[in-house]
Amino acid sequence: MNEQEFVELTAGYALHALSPDDERAFETARRQHPEWEHHVTTDAETAALLADSVSDVAPPPSLRGALLAQISGATPQAADESLTVPATALRADRRTTTPEPEPEAAVKPRRRRAQTWFALAASLALLVGVGWGAVFVGERLNTPASVVALDEIQSAPDAQSETVSLSDGGEVTAHWSESVGKAVLVSDGLPTIADDESFELWFVRDGAAIPAGLFTSDDGTATALLDGPIESGDVIAVTIEPAGGSPTGQPTSDPIVAIETA
């Protein structure tokens, strides 16, 4: 693409009107030619002035409060494109009535995973949740910290639990209490993983995944305490990662477990 062809597209880009093909070609050329960026800037400024022709409309006051609460929580700020939360994930978090087509995300190619993961986690929670219930945990307890935490949770007045079934027949139960601020995952029938892999725990909060520790299992059972406090509305998720945890600090594979705790 030469500069003239690029300038032909910047207007359509500024008005967000390019076809997907044109937009891809445009973005490629834009990366290759930072010296053409001023065309993009100028057209974006011009297009934004069109917004002056609309009347101001005050949004509902509740929205301001909701936003400020969200940012004062743990919504992380991103320094790069990869951490931007997809719109679908935000919508899923807000439990709007519109069904999302996310189950398809499970079969999308690996390269799409970064974009689809959060939405997928949210939808999995809805798909595989099988209701409330206590689970016998006795002999599966294998670490003192998780035993103590599980006792604390179960004696709390707001103790909750939810069990989901794994695709190959296993069961995973999350136990949590917001007043205690802890969550424990009790698993049975986990898939066998390689020696150089481990299970990694995550809190999915406001569409972002927060690492919450690693665990392994010799016989498919495990009881694991999630690192860090649980917050209202968190999704608890498990992925299979390289031993030592995801090198990027973000999930590199689709979750095998996603439990909504709201």
Binding site for other proteins (CB under 8 A): 7-12, 14-19, 22, 37-38, 41-60, 63-64, 66-68, 70-72, 75-81, 83-85, 87, 90-91, 94, 96, 98, 206
How many helices (H) does the chain have, and how many strands (E)? 7, 8
Nearest approach in angstroms of CB 261 to other proteins is 21
Cα separation, 201 vs 224, whole angstroms: 9
Q: Which residue has the tokens 């009347």?
A: 55
Least CB distance to other proteins at residue 19 (A): 5
Output the smallest distance, CB 106 to other proteins, in A.
20
Output the smallest distance, CB 110 to other proteins, in A: 24
Residue 28 or 216 with smaller CB distance to other proteins: 28
Query: What are the respective helix, strand and coil percentages of the chain, to the nearest 5?
Result: 40, 20, 40
* Shortest Å distance, C-beta 127 to other proteins: 20
Angstrom distance (rounded) from CA 80 to CA 240 = 25
For the chain, the residue count is 262
Instruction: Considering the complex, state which of residue 58 and residue 194 has its C-beta at the smaller distance from other proteins.
Output: 58
CA-based R_g, the chain, Å: 22
Identify which of residues 81 and 139 has a Cβ nearer to other proteins in the complex. Answer: 81
Distance of alpha carbon 54 from alpha carbon 21, whole angstroms: 30
Nearest residue (CB) to other proteins, 45 versus 219? 45
Closer CB to other proteins, 49 or 107, in the complex: 49
